[in-house]
Amino acid sequence: MGETQFKKGHRSHTWVPLGSEKLQDGYLLRKVSDTGYPPRDWRPVHRIIWEEANGPIPQGSILCFKDGDKTHIDLANLELVTRSELARRNRMWTNYPRELCETIHLAGVLKRKIRRRNREEQD
């Protein structure tokens, strides 16, 4: 083996300790393990905070930032939505002012809850 090759037991120059944080695609990630497999080693900080407070995120749900700012990591700024709800939201964000979109969204949530209650009463 040549002298310039990577030697067993040495760490890469890019290695960082557990608890280190980095910004990737606008999301703050924290190193939680040291397996050498980055997708498993780094977790989004907003997900860690949510799971500490509320438990694991259910299958089919997504964690979103209420204000749309990925760097504003606060439990009060996080909400859990279904994938279908996220699709509905993203469909209208580009065409209308934000306040109107929020009103339309809340009206839709209210209508769905009313329909669900009416169905439950009929059964």
Of 2-16, 64-78, 96-110, least confident by mean pLDDT is 2-16
Is 111 a member of any domain?
yes
Q: How many domains does the chain have?
A: 2
Rounded to an integer, the average pLDDT of 54-71 is 92
| pLDDT tens track for 71-105 | 999 999 999 999 988 887 777 666 788 888 888 88
Cβ distance 71 to 77 under 8 Å? no
Report the pLDDT value the prediction gives residue 98, as an integer from 0 to 100: 80
| pLDDT tens track for 30-57 | 999 988 788 889 999 999 999 999 999 9
Q: What are the Cα distances from residue 77, in Å, to 5, 46, 67, 122?
A: 47, 10, 7, 36
Is 5 a member of any domain?
no
Is 3 a member of any domain?
no
Is 50 a member of any domain?
yes
Q: How far apart are CA 65 and CA 77, in angstroms?
A: 6
Q: How far apart are CA 69 and CA 48, in angstroms?
A: 17
pLDDT tier, 114 (very low <50, low <70, confident <90, very high otherwise) = very high
**Residue 94: DSSP 8-state:** T
Do 22 and 58 lie in a common domain? yes
Residue 92, H or E segment:
helix 83-92
Is 9 a member of any domain?
no
Do 41 and 68 lie in a common domain? yes
Q: Which residue has the tokens 């995120």?
A: 57
Is 87 a member of any domain?
no
Is 1 a member of any domain?
no
Q: Which residues pair with 82 in a beta bridge?
A: 61
Is 7 a member of any domain?
no
- For residue 101, the enclosing domain spans 93-123
Do 33 and 67 lie in a common domain? yes
DSSP string, 18-82: TT-EEEETTEEEEE---SS-HHHHEEEHHHHHHHHHH-SPPTTEEEEETTS-TT---GGGEEEEE
Do 98 and 47 lie in a common domain? no
Do 76 and 34 lie in a common domain? yes
Sequence-separated (6 or more) residues with CB below 8 Å from residue 76: none
